[in-house]
């Protein structure tokens, strides 16, 4: 079972990278965090994947005052998602015509939903950005307001820096939640109750009320 969970974790991270690359390559709009990563990349000359790693590490440091505990998945997420994103951005051909760009976008959303199921279902801890959100919410703030505030802020900064905002940004926000809620129960692996669980998994067990927001991709 551990082997399956580890395989699922790293397949999920690779698919996260593929989903990011497809959405960026579509040029139809990124999710909020990748808008920020792309904007920083355009301003500094570093790759998008490099900024995914840097941002993930910086966000994880914010866990310290929030007393959040990273898991193997959290650390792996910080290191590997950006590396996979850069790899797939290098491998993917330019989609060219608008129809193919739309195909890239649809594939990105579907892949992102499946990757979320793999990653969260493996149960090795939340991604750094989700951990920040839930850590702040645990201080008595509304989870919805915290999440919205963070994502609007990073989206605005990313757009100001030159990141791409468009129809893909909206479609990802609308579709990723329902997709995640389909795939997470299907891919949830059995494990020890001592393993740190993701808030979305807890929702499915009825411990917390279900909220409409999707987990952050990373």
**Within a 10 A sphere around the Cβ of 177, how many other Cβ atoms?**
18
Whether residue 32 is contained in a domain is answered as yes
Domain count, the chain: 1
Hey, which bits of 7-116 come out as E strands? none
pLDDT at 212: 37
3-state secondary structure of 215: coil
Whether residue 64 is contained in a domain is answered as yes
CB of 206 within 8 A of CB of 199?
A: no
Whether residue 215 is contained in a domain is answered as no
Closest CA to 50 of 103, 15, 90, 22: 90
pLDDT at 137: 86
pLDDT in tens, the chain (218 residues): 899 999 999 999 999 999 999 999 999 999 999 999 999 999 999 999 999 999 999 999 999 888 888 999 999 999 999 999 999 999 999 999 999 999 999 999 999 999 999 999 999 999 999 999 888 888 888 888 999 999 999 999 999 999 999 999 999 999 999 999 999 999 987 654 434 444 444 443 333 333 335 566 66
Rounded to whole angstroms, the Cα distance separating 164 from 144 reads: 24
Q: Could you tell me if residue 90 is left (phi over 0), alpha (psi between -120 and 50 degrees) or otherwise beta?
A: alpha
Provide the residue range defining the domain that includes 58: 2-204
The pTM of the full predicted model, rounded to 2 decimals, is 0.86
Identify the helix (H) or strand (E) that includes residue 212.
none
How is 111-146 classified by DSSP, letter by letter?
A: HHHHHHHHHHHHTS---HHHHHHHHHHTTT--HHHH
């Amino acid at each position: 079972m551990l082997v399956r969970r580890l395989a699922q974790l790293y397949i999920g991270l690779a698919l996260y990278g593929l989903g990011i690359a497809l959405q960026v390559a579509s040029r139809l709009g990124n999710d909020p965090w990748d808008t920020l990563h792309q904007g920083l990349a355009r301003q500094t000359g570093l790759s998008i994947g490099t900024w995914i790693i840097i941002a993930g590490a910086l966000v994880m440091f914010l866990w310290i005052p929030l007393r959040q505990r990273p898991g193997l998945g959290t650390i792996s997420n910080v290191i590997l998602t950006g590396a996979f994103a850069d790899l797939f951005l290098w491998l993917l051909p330019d989609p060219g015509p608008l129809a193919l760009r739309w195909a890239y976008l649809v594939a990105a959303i579907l892949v992102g939903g499946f990757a979320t199921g793999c990653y969260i279902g493996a149960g090795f801890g939340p991604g750094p950005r989700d951990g920040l959100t839930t850590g702040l919410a645990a201080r008595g703030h509304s989870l919805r307001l915290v999440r919205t505030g963070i994502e609007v802020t990073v989206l605005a900064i990313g757009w100001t820096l030159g990141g791409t905002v468009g129809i893909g940004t909206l479609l990802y926000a609308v579709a990723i939640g329902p997709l995640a809620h389909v795939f997470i129960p299907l891919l949830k692996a059995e494990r020890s109750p001592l393993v740190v669980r993701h808030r979305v998994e807890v929702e499915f067990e009825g411990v917390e009320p279900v909220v409409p927001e999707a987990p952050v991709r990373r």
